[in-house]
């Protein structure tokens, strides 16, 4: 698999390292001196975007316009998500966005929905707390927003989301249901960035040769 890395931050670098370990080829990657939109993507099988909220839309558009399947794990840019999906369909390309590529977190998403269904109409107050490293640009995290949206859709309420930035924390998400009698809590803790990176590589390999707009649920269903 020949990969173009769009974004040269912590995640982009770790994806590159793990890709090379697995025998994949990094054909190009962006940097502060070489923006993703200037890259020739013609030799890539897939583009993987882990950039910034301010550059993701242009990066992904560039990949789609170049005829390259693209997956994105960048959060904080979703006001333009519909534009990207429409561009993908217009160009008959392939695009997959996920707020979190970790296989464990995607299982946690399903656990969250199941628990919310059980808690519906019960006298409990829902809350969600997320913790990330101090260099994370968006707050609350895209993952926290996904979890909160899942809960609110099922519970028909507005779950309170709080965020905390500490040191080099890879990502912790805690969901609580509290009543005057007891408290129920579920928690996902990322020990490092490898889970996100490996999930992105799995999704990148999966999307090659496909057309349409996809999610991690499509990848995991195969």
The residues carrying an active-site annotation are 132, 136
Q: Are 75 and 141 in contact (CB under 8 A)?
A: yes
DSSP code of residue 216: H
148: tokens are 């909160």
Residue whose C-alpha is closest to residue 201's, from 12, 8, 10, 7: 12
H and E: helices and strands count for the chain = 7, 10
Alpha helices in the chain (DSSP H): 10-21, 56-65, 81-90, 103-119, 142-155, 194-207, 216-220
Q: Nearest Cα to 9, choosing from 53, 66, 63, 42?
A: 53
Which pair of structure tokens corresponds to residue 20? 């090379």
The tally of CA atoms less than 13 A away on the side-chain side of residue 102 is 22
Beta bridge partners of 25: 2
Give the closest residue to 6 by CA, choosing from 42, 52, 45.
Answer: 52
Q: DSSP state, 32? A: S
First to last CA, the chain: 19
């Amino acid at each position: 698999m020949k990969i173009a890395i769009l974004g040269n931050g912590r995640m982009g670098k770790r994806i590159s390292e793990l890709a090379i370990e697995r025998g994949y080829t990094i054909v190009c990657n962006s940097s502060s001196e070489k923006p993703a939109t200037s890259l020739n993507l013609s030799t890539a099988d897939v583009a993987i975007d882990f950039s910034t909220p301010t550059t993701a839309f242009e990066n992904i558009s560039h990949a789609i316009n170049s005829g390259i399947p693209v997956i994105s794990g960048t959060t904080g840019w979703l006001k333009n998500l519909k534009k990207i999906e429409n561009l993908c369909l217009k160009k008959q390309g392939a695009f997959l966005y996920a707020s979190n590529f970790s296989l464990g977190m995607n299982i946690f998403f399903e656990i969250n929905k199941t628990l919310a269904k059980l808690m519906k109409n019960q006298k409990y107050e829902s809350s969600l707390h997320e913790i990330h490293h101090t260099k994370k640009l968006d707050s609350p995290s895209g993952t926290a927003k996904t979890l909160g949206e899942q809960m609110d859709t099922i519970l028909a309420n507005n779950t309170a989301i709080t965020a905390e930035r500490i040191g080099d924390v890879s990502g912790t998400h805690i969901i609580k249901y509290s009543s005057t009698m007891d408290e129920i809590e579920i928690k996902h803790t990322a020990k490092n960035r490898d889970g996100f990176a490996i999930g992105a590589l799995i999704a990148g390999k999966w999307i090659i040769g496909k057309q349409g707009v996809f999610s991690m649920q499509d990848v995991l269903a195969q």
